[in-house]
Amino acid sequence: MSVLALMKSGFLYRASVKIVQKMPSSDMSKFRSVFKNSKKIVVLTGAGVSAESGVPTFRGSGGLWRTFKSQDLATPEAFYRDPSLVWEFYHYRREVMATKKPNAAHVAIAGAQDFLRSKGFELNVITQNIDELHHAAGTKDVIELHGSLFKTSCLKCHKIKQNRQSPICEALRGRGAPDPNVRSANIPVESLPRCQDCGGLLRPSVVWFGESLDEDILLRANELINECDLCLVVGTSSVVYPAAMFAPSVAARGVPVAEFNMEVTPTTERFGFHFDGPCGESLPIALAPY
């Protein structure tokens, strides 16, 4: 089955792949040589790159909001069951992002894109993140696989709109504290964010667990993956599909793949390069102008 067919078939889920110890090259000068000879670069980014800006990942030990895992709240079922609680969670995340800025990794990616495009080449970003820090750093044409914290979707008229109101509605002002001792606000549904066009209930325009990704976005991502001559995997554990199969499909074509991450991942052994440590330290060196 093709990569696109696999992507179109399904939902967000996690791969179970044994990590092996064979390590690819960590020779930066060798990577730089490949980078300088590449004309169509794709950068795949995940939660790790934003974590370096202090953005909560809600994963791993202690990765809870109140007493909830993100998987408990980021589902259609959770929203229909308790839209007030889910909106508290996303309101908190939106307000947190008002205090965060792009880090050196975001800036290096944006700078490399600007430089390469000035030379007539391409660098495109496909991200699993919903925080828009790539936009804030100046990266253009970002493909957001999982949507954005700062867009809403109306359940009635289905319009998707940019929304940076703070708070997004008055009833959420001062709500969303992550303290597990804080009681849920139990905001009436009519006081939650509403569509200005039709009055319908708004939801965050993000892809929740159990939902399929947007087909047009997947088509564009697949085109870039199939055309690239260098792929960078930045700050992602490579276990959430469909993004987990992007880089391995590139490597299977014999195209160089470089992973920048705090640790090895289930797919590290398939790649030509792996650079351990904070992306904000390695990427500015890796992507510096020629």
For the annotated catalytic residues, the residue numbers are 146
Q: How far apart are CA 100 and CA 50, in angstroms?
A: 9
- Of the candidates 271, 279, 254, 278, the one whose C-alpha atom is nearest the C-alpha of residue 24 is 271
186 annotated ligand-binding residue:
no
The answer to the question of whether 254 is labelled as a binding residue is no
236 is annotated as contributing to ligand binding: yes
Residue 157 in marked binding region: yes
Write b or e for each residue in 152-177: b if 16 or more Cβ atoms lie within 10 A of its Cβ, otherwise e: bbbeeeeeeeebeeeebbebbeebbe
155 HSE (CA, 13 A, CB side): 13
71 marked among binding-site residues: no
Residue 261, marked binder: yes
Handedness of CA 147, 153, 158, 161 (dihedral sign): negative
The side-by-side arrangement of strands in the sheet containing 147-154 is 160-162, 147-154, 202-206
Q: Which of 122, 169, 155, 160 is nearest to 141 (CA)?
A: 122
61 annotated as belonging to a binding site for a ligand: yes
Instruction: Please check if 52 is assigned to a binding site.
Output: yes
For residue 288, say whether it is annotated as part of any ligand binding site. no
Residues annotated as binding site for substrate?
90, 93
Residues annotated as binding site for Zn(2+)?
154, 157, 195, 198
Residues annotated as binding site?
46-65, 90, 93, 128-131, 154, 157, 195, 198, 235-237, 261-263, 279
Residues annotated as binding site for NAD(+)?
46-65, 128-131, 235-237, 261-263, 279
